[in-house]
Amino acid sequence: MLKEKEKETLNPLKIKTATQISIIILSILGLLAGIAVFLFPQIRLMIIGLIGKVIGRNIVLIQGWLNTLKMYALGLIFLILLFDYFALTKKGRKLVEDVKREIKESFSEIDFHSLYKPVLFMSGVYFLGTFTIIRANSLYLDDIGRAIEGYRGWYNWSRYVAELLSVFIHADAKLTDISPLPQLLAIFLLSISSVLLVYILGEKKITYVRLLASIPLGLSPYFLECLSYKFDAPYMALSILTSIIPFLFISRKKTFLSSSIFSLLIMCMTYQAASGIYMLIVAILCFQDWNKQTKSYKEIFSFLGLAALAFCITMLIFKFFFARSTDLDGFYVSTAIHSLPHMIPGIWANLIHYTIIIGSDFGVIWKTGIILICILFIFKSIRTSVHHRIHSVAISILFIGLSFILSYGVYYLFETPLFYPRALYGFGVFLSILCIYTVSDFKIIASITVLAFNWCLLVFAFSYGNALADQARYAEFRIGILLYDINALYPGRNDAKLAYQLKNTIDYAPSIKNIAKHYPVIERLVPKRLGFTGNDWEFRYFQDHFNSQMEYDYSIDYNLLDLPVVLDSYYHTIKSDGIHCFVILKH
């Protein structure tokens, strides 16, 4: 009996020792492999060759691939050492246990049952706002290529989480159009994001007025473009949610720091346009604590420093270990960062450009609503502040300006950042934060103003979805006429493809021109779908989606050829010599 008891007490120790020895052996092998890949280009070349065989195609051996593998090897070494610290050292194991305990305590303090109804409510609101977009059933830009060819391609933009999740959502490595499932998933993730944002900013108090005030988070004109993507939408929505989740653990420093780094890494690997949201929430929480003096200056700066540390660590990890360099010759976007001598002028130029774009996108009604909300935000701050009125006004204005700047995130650092609407949805979260704060325990005039503004956003969402459908019908009508005319001129050309070029693009449908009078952003949201201005999806929709048997000719500018006019109609002019076909589109 004594021997059996001794065995029972010794077995766990033996198992623990065996586990540690296994970890050490595997760590040594992993470190040796990482060091070998990092130091020797020959090994990296061999790995690239093996990858090419696995995926069934040759990989062009460019310096970028070699450098990428080198950084991955460095990342592997870092992760192994980090894992060994947590698994093999007393301090590391204690830290892991502390974080696990704090997570359990944080979750035990959340009344999840109280969140179900708000999530369902916001799901209904967002579904209502997205209904016309779903009904339009329109392939939006990148959707065209993914629907036709089934590729993913998020890897090229360092969106590894999107790359991986897409395989599970589409139940295959090859993508197919499964809409509206991805958009419904996006709606669900947005509803959770809105509820959690209200929960965090409202000190765990959720009201339906605050929930409605959060509408700009998901129905700003900029995130409407994200919801238009049949394939990308859920990952863009996930980037917002992961930026909010760490604040559930705000009262526990270790868990907040670790969850912030983990969540922000997921954000970076889904859609980097959300990079400003985390610091936006940090700013409003610091402002609330200062305004009501619920925390001391030391506590506020401690939280701010911890959040800034988590953000900087994450951005550095992502930059050096995960980010792939992208530079399309300045035509589309570049991830190249300003050099130090040009950093401040470059950031200032991007800020000015960002401000001008938002100013030109928003009509008079929206601008008026935003100004009124900002004024009410200042009045609310004065009303609830324990500080002198002048100080409260000054800090409130400073907060609004700083938050606006933060809403664009790290894109300021890029030489050629993205200014398409889908890259600006941080501005919608900025508006959502202002609205939630303004309606919280304030007079009814604030609630009416905020809800009226958000009603305008909801109405625009209906208009936008219908505009997508109108433009798709108009484009397909124009494309059908053009293909019919070309086929009538050159029937039965099975022996050789007709070489062609397009000049101009079709204009917007009349309904879109009407919307643009009050909502200028509509012209940046709705794609024209026919024409060729470079490597764009408007051309791909005409060429690939309609299975055109013609071949676009890049070799010479057809404007220089003296081609005879073979057809001149209300919608287009066709010049051709039977070999070259030059189509001039009319508005």
Phi, psi of 34, deg, nearest 5: -65, -40
Per-residue pLDDT, 495: 55
276 pLDDT tier (thresholds 50, 70, 90)? very high
- Cβ proximity of 434 and 442 under 8 Å: no
Cβ-proximal residues to 437 (8 Å cutoff; 6+ apart), any chain? 201, 284, 288, 377, 380
Please give the Cα distance from 154 to 139 (Å, whole number): 18
- Whether pLDDT at 4 is above 80: no
Please give the Cα distance from 432 to 426 (Å, whole number): 10
- Whether pLDDT at 97 is above 90: no
Distances (CA, A) of 75 to 81, 264, 336: 10, 17, 21
What string of DSSP letters covers 170-205?
Answer: TTSSS----TTHHHHHHHHHHHHHHHHHHHHHTTT-
The CA-to-CA distance between both ends of the chain, in Å, stands at 95
pTM, two decimal places: 0.88
194 pLDDT tier (thresholds 50, 70, 90)? very high
Per-residue pLDDT, 504: 85
- Whether pLDDT at 453 is above 60: yes
Per-residue pLDDT, 122: 96
What average pLDDT score do residues 362-374 get?
94
More confident site: 330 or 96: 96
- Whether pLDDT at 58 is above 80: no
At 572, which helix (H) or strand (E)? strand 572-576
- Whether pLDDT at 331 is above 80: no
List beta partners, residue 582.
Answer: 501, 575
280 pLDDT tier (thresholds 50, 70, 90)? very high
Give me Rg for the CA atoms of the chain.
Answer: 28
- Cβ proximity of 511 and 470 under 8 Å: yes
- Encoding tokens for residue 46? 């061999």
**Mean pLDDT lowest among 60-74, 343-357, 393-407:** 60-74
At 500, which helix (H) or strand (E)? strand 499-503
What average pLDDT score do residues 168-191 get?
92
- Whether pLDDT at 6 is above 60: no
Quote the mean pLDDT of the chain: 86
- Cβ proximity of 196 and 245 under 8 Å: yes
Strands 580-585 and 334-337: unpaired
- Whether pLDDT at 475 is above 80: yes
More confident site: 63 or 338: 338
Please give the Cα distance from 125 to 214 (Å, whole number): 11
Per-residue pLDDT, 60: 52
pLDDT digits (tens, 9 = 90+) for 119-161: 999 999 999 999 999 999 988 888 888 888 888 888 778 888 8
- Encoding tokens for residue 293? 């003096």
More confident site: 65 or 261: 261
**Backbone torsion region of residue 149, taken as left when φ is above 0, otherwise alpha when ψ lies between -120 and 50, otherwise beta:** alpha
Per-residue pLDDT, 2: 47
Please give the Cα distance from 92 to 36 (Å, whole number): 27
Per-residue pLDDT, 64: 56
pLDDT digits (tens, 9 = 90+) for 505-557: 888 888 999 999 889 999 999 988 776 655 466 777 777 777 777 778 788 88
Per-residue pLDDT, 192: 96
Q: In the block, which residue shows the tokens 């889904």? A: 270
pLDDT digits (tens, 9 = 90+) for 171-182: 888 889 998 999
What average pLDDT score do residues 382-407 get?
92
Per-residue pLDDT, 329: 43
